[in-house]
Amino acid sequence: MHPLLFLSLQKQGKQVVPLDIELTEGKRILIISGPNAGGKSVCLKTVGLLQYMLQCGLLIPLHERSRTGIFEHIFIDIGDEQSIENDLSTYSSHLTNMKYFVKNCNERTIILIDEFGSGTEPQIGGAIAEALLDRFNRNHSFGVITTHYQNLKHFAEDTEGIVNGAMLYDRHLMQPLFKLSIGNPGSSFAVEIARKIGLPRGRNSRRFRERRSGLYQYGQIPARYSYAINGTGKANGRISVSRRKNWKMSLLVMNKTWKP
């Protein structure tokens, strides 16, 4: 543990929660979901920082039985890369990074992406993110990716080479545990967190119930979400709704020939 972190936590009466991550040939890409402020980004940044330190020849804080690998490429997409000078919005800068990742990733690459697919219309962003995730997996890249999107959790559950992970949350104490559990997806606990913060109820609660019982029922996705993802205006990349297991909704890119 870093000595400054140790001293800071000691003053607050807190302890460090160890992080246990394993990426293998059969489970190369870890999709982490869970509550806001639950430790997803900290987990992602910890992996990136320790891997970079290791490849720079620095000692890293690990258990004595831990094993690490060496990668030729470390691709990172974290934070806001807006640029007025280059006419880049948050999402366009994100897509620019994704374009580079897809063209250059291989089995000697580790990809670290925070809030994958966010920054644009959720249904469209989630579908594009799923197509990109499929490409990363087909290229046999390794990765740690955080998200709140349901369709990416579904895809990880159904796809060999990708595994779900969850940051745990105590629903009784209404607080995150900062522990990573690999094997199952996590919940964002958006309603619970809103109540904890003290978001006014009343009209907001009614609108929430209407939205949950309306748009998010099967088959209620508006027709305008048909989308041509190849940029030519031809509708050869449709987004549709699928019903898998007990999930409410999943968005799939039906065009299998799309190449970013």
Q: Are 28 and 141 in contact (CB under 8 A)?
A: yes
Q: Within 10 Å of residue 86's Cβ, how many Cβ atoms?
A: 10
Say what the pLDDT of residue 226 is: 30
Distance (Å) of CA 141 to CA 70, 124, 189: 13, 24, 30
Taking the CA atoms of 107, 46, 65 and 23 in sequence, report the sign of the dihedral they define. Answer: negative
Q: Are 166 and 32 in contact (CB under 8 A)?
A: yes
Say what the pLDDT of residue 259 is: 40
For every one of its 260 residues, what pLDDT tens digit does the chain have, with 9 covering 90 and above?
A: 778 888 998 899 888 888 899 999 999 999 999 988 889 999 999 999 999 999 999 999 888 899 998 999 999 999 766 555 555 677 888 899 999 999 999 999 999 999 998 888 889 999 999 999 999 999 999 999 999 999 999 999 999 999 999 999 888 888 888 999 999 999 888 888 888 888 877 555 666 665 555 544 433 333 333 333 333 333 333 333 333 433 333 333 333 333 43
Say what the pLDDT of residue 48 is: 95
Say what the pLDDT of residue 14 is: 85
